[in-house]
Amino acid sequence: MMHAATLAQFQDDFVRTLRDPDRPAPPAFAVYRNTVMKGCIDALQANYPAVARLVGDEWFRAAAAVYARAHAPRVPMLLEYGRDFDAFLAAFGPAAELPFLSAVARLDRFWTEAHAAADEPALDARALAGLDPESLASLRLRPHAAARWAWHELPAYTIWSRNRNEAMVAADEPDVEWRPEGVLIARPDDAVRWIGLDAAGCAFMDACAAGATLLEAAAAVPAADLSGLLAKLLDAGAFTNGELR
């Protein structure tokens, strides 16, 4: 089959046949179509485990096949495959009744990004302890390379964290409370972990990421909550040394 004058012509023709199921090919050619598709779907399932657990294998693999037909991997590091799967799910008709699914996919992506991010030391609360008030106020805290955070108008974080863990959700676990919530995912001590974060905490992280001083970033947070929030973020590995080298 597929006689071609040159290697380049053969490969062009082969790729066209791979992508177009209506192009004639011998029955055994299906092995290549199946293997390429299975490789893409398996990679998406590995990268989006909470989404897959929520919707079940069959639904997930059908949706992943639709995605894979439209978006081939660009690089061989399949950990990176499906970066825009959350946007795909947001526009995917069959997911319309699951308005949190896209946000859950984004949190799965955050987990992978936190897992594979560059190594750098996490800022320790002790590094701040010796600073006088003026130095503290002008300090610019830099988010750690592994830190990701988001605020959602839906309880996406609760739904995601219940489906991200291998453990089964207990039968007596209360129903998900339908409210807005935020999350911070980071990698303190080389393991990916997450904490719930309120709207002020997310705004604080946004301000730090934009290069604000601690005084400027604190404008987003009620004064009484600031030291508690800072302690919680430092404990979660949200920042790296930045100016404190």
Number of residues that bind other proteins (CB under 8 A): 44
20, 21, 32, 210: which one binds other proteins (CB under 8 A): 32
116, 127, 200, 244: which one binds other proteins (CB under 8 A): 116
Nearer to other proteins, 125 or 191 (CB): 191
Residue 165 in the binding site for other proteins (CB under 8 A): no
CA geometry: angle at 190 spanning 227 and 110, to 5°? 75
Give the integer Cα–Cα distance in Å for 148 and 141.
Answer: 15
Give the integer Cα–Cα distance in Å for 143 and 176.
Answer: 30
Residue 79 in the binding site for other proteins (CB under 8 A): yes
Residue 10 in the binding site for other proteins (CB under 8 A): yes
Q: Residue 39: what residue type?
A: G
Give the integer Cα–Cα distance in Å for 167 and 16.
Answer: 44
**Alpha carbon separation from 188 to 49, 146, 198 (Å, rounded):** 22, 9, 20
Q: Which stretch binds other proteins (CB under 8 A): 6-14, 97-105, 127-135, 164-172?
A: 6-14
Residue 65 in the binding site for other proteins (CB under 8 A): no
Give the integer Cα–Cα distance in Å for 50 and 114.
Answer: 16
Q: Identify the H or E element spanning 122.
A: none
For the CB of residue 193, give the shortest distance to other proteins in the complex, in Å: 12
- Using CB under 8 A as the binding rule, the residues of this chain from 172 to 211 that contact other proteins are 187, 190-191
Nearer to other proteins, 114 or 208 (CB): 114
**Structural contact between residues 207 and 199, judged by C-beta atoms closer than 8 angstroms:** no
Q: What residues line the site for other proteins (CB under 8 A)?
A: 1-4, 6-8, 10-12, 14-15, 18, 26-32, 35-36, 39-40, 43, 72-79, 115-120, 145-146, 187, 190-191
